[in-house]
């Protein structure tokens, strides 16, 4: 059993760019195409939710979005923690911020809410999947590694804690998410290989970060 | 200051700063400039019209809205249009005494405020 949570808060209608939906679509589908995730349950949190749906492949043709609020994100993570799953995937696209203390960071939600890195980590603390992978595409996403790092997790981020993250030059997707997706699609065996692939191809002025945990080199992780 | 003059001054300033940065050897992205589609007259100012982003009222901590004069025209400069937020941006305030103040920020204006009109620079 596997769970996938896809998240793009977007701040508000002015900052919810179409590319975030595309980010979640391509990477969500790439995970679902890997053997370990083919029967996965998917939770999609995107902007205001409502009528937004994503086609994530044959078994997930109309995944309906719910509002990407902080409360819904917390609930989605708590729901995941109730099950004994082997695999858990969390992907965030969209915006992030460096907090006023200039040390900790936040993930942007819908309607101008923010979730701080340590708050997010506490919501994930009860998730007991044996293999967990987190992909963060937002600005300052490297700040999510220290509070979240644990041996059963590997964490990939688009940039360091003090950097902003970038769209691909086409503006249709985010740079780092695109290349992580390509790595997944290309059949690379481990998260470590996928991260190396994405980091080498990322041509934007951002420095992707990686925490492998004990599972980053596990060749059975992605199937 | 009338709208056309205010826009011309802000546009020229943004372009000049960008070209100076390029000539100094750095390679900054071309900024995107917008004008808030509102004239903040005395009535609007008194009624509490302010520019806000996700972290609060823009410029409140540095007294933009509490001095003897008040902003009439406000511009928004996205300095890295191809990056996700938060990233460098600026709010430019043109006051009713013709003073222009530029305030660095990192978040865009909320969607529930005045619309933004793109202003070509280059």
Sketch the domain layout of chain A as residue ranges.
2-211
In percent, the amount of chain B with pLDDT more than 90 equals: 93
Chain A partners of B110 at a C-beta cutoff of 8 Å? 12, 14, 112
In percent, the amount of chain A with pLDDT more than 90 equals: 94
pTM of the model as a whole: 0.96
Name the burial class of residue A120, with classes exposed (0-12), middle (13-18) and buried (19+) by CB atoms within 10 angstroms of its CB: buried
pLDDT value at position A82?
A: 79
Q: What span, in angstroms and rounded, lies between the C-alpha atoms of B58 and B51?
A: 6
pLDDT value at position A73?
A: 98
Name the burial class of residue B77, with classes exposed (0-12), middle (13-18) and buried (19+) by CB atoms within 10 angstroms of its CB: buried
Please, how many CA atoms are within 13 Å of residue B37, restricted to the half-sphere of its CB? 8
Q: Is B47 on the interface with A (CB under 8 A)?
A: no
- Letter string b/e over residues B1-18, b meaning 16 or more CB atoms within 10 A of that residue's CB: beeeebbebbbeebeebb
Which residues, in sequence order, are bridge partners of residue B57?
B52
Based on the structure, what is the number of domains in chain B? 1
Class for the domain spanning A2-211: alpha beta
Name the burial class of residue A87, with classes exposed (0-12), middle (13-18) and buried (19+) by CB atoms within 10 angstroms of its CB: buried
Name the burial class of residue B47, with classes exposed (0-12), middle (13-18) and buried (19+) by CB atoms within 10 angstroms of its CB: exposed
pLDDT at B101 > cutoff 90: yes
pLDDT value at position B26?
A: 86
Which of A11, A94, A138 shows the shortest C-beta gap to B54?
A: A11
B96 is in which domain, residue-wise? 3-119
Picking from A164, A175, A204 by the largest number of B CB atoms within 10 A of its own CB, the best residue to mutate is A164
Q: What span, in angstroms and rounded, lies between the C-alpha atoms of A146 and A163?
A: 16
pLDDT at A78 > cutoff 80: yes
Helices A191-201, A175-185: crossing angle, 10 deg rounding: 130
pLDDT at A163 > cutoff 90: yes
Chain A partners of B82 at a C-beta cutoff of 8 Å? 166-167, 169, 171
In percent, the amount of chain B with pLDDT more than 70 equals: 100
């Amino acid at each position: 059993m596997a769970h996938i949570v896809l998240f793009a808060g977007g701040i508000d209608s002015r900052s919810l760019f179409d590319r975030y939906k595309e980010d979640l679509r391509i990477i969500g589908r790439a995970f679902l195409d890997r053997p370990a995730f083919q029967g996965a349950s998917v939770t999609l949190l995107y902007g205001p939710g409502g009528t937004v749906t994503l086609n994530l492949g044959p078994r997930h043709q109309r995944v309906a979005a719910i509002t990407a609020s902080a409360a819904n994100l917390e609930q989605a993570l708590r729901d995941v923690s109730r099950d004994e799953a082997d695999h858990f995937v969390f992907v965030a696209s969209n915006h992030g911020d460096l907090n006023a203390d200039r040390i900790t960071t936040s993930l942007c939600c819908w309607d101008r809410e923010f979730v701080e890195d340590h708050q997010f980590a506490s919501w994930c603390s009860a998730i007991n999947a044996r293999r967990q992978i987190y992909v963060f595409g937002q600005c300052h996403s490297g700040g999510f590694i220290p509070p979240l790092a644990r041996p059963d997790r590997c964490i990939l981020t688009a940039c360091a804690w003090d950097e902003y993250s970038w769209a691909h030059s086409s503006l249709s997707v985010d740079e780092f998410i695109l290349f992580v997706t390509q790595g997944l699609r290309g059949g690379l065996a481990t998260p470590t290989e996928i991260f190396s692939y994405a980091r080498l191809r990322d041509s934007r002025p951002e420095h992707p970060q990686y925490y492998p945990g004990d599972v980053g080199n596990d060749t059975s992780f992605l199937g | 200051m009338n709208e056309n003059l205010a826009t011309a001054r802000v546009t020229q300033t943004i372009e000049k700063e960008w070209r100076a940065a390029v000539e100094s050897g750095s390679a900054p992205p071309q900024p995107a400039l917008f004008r808030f589609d509102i004239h903040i007259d005395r009535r609007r100012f008194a009624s509490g019209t302010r520019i806000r982003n996700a972290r609060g009222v823009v410029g409140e901590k540095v007294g933009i809205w509490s001095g003897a004069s008040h902003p009439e025209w406000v511009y928004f400069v996205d300095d890295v249009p191809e990056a996700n937020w938060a990233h460098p941006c600026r709010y430019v305030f043109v006051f009713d005494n013709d003073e222009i103040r530029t305030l660095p920020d990192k978040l865009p204006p909320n969607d529930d405020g005045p619309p933004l009109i793109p202003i070509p620079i280059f």
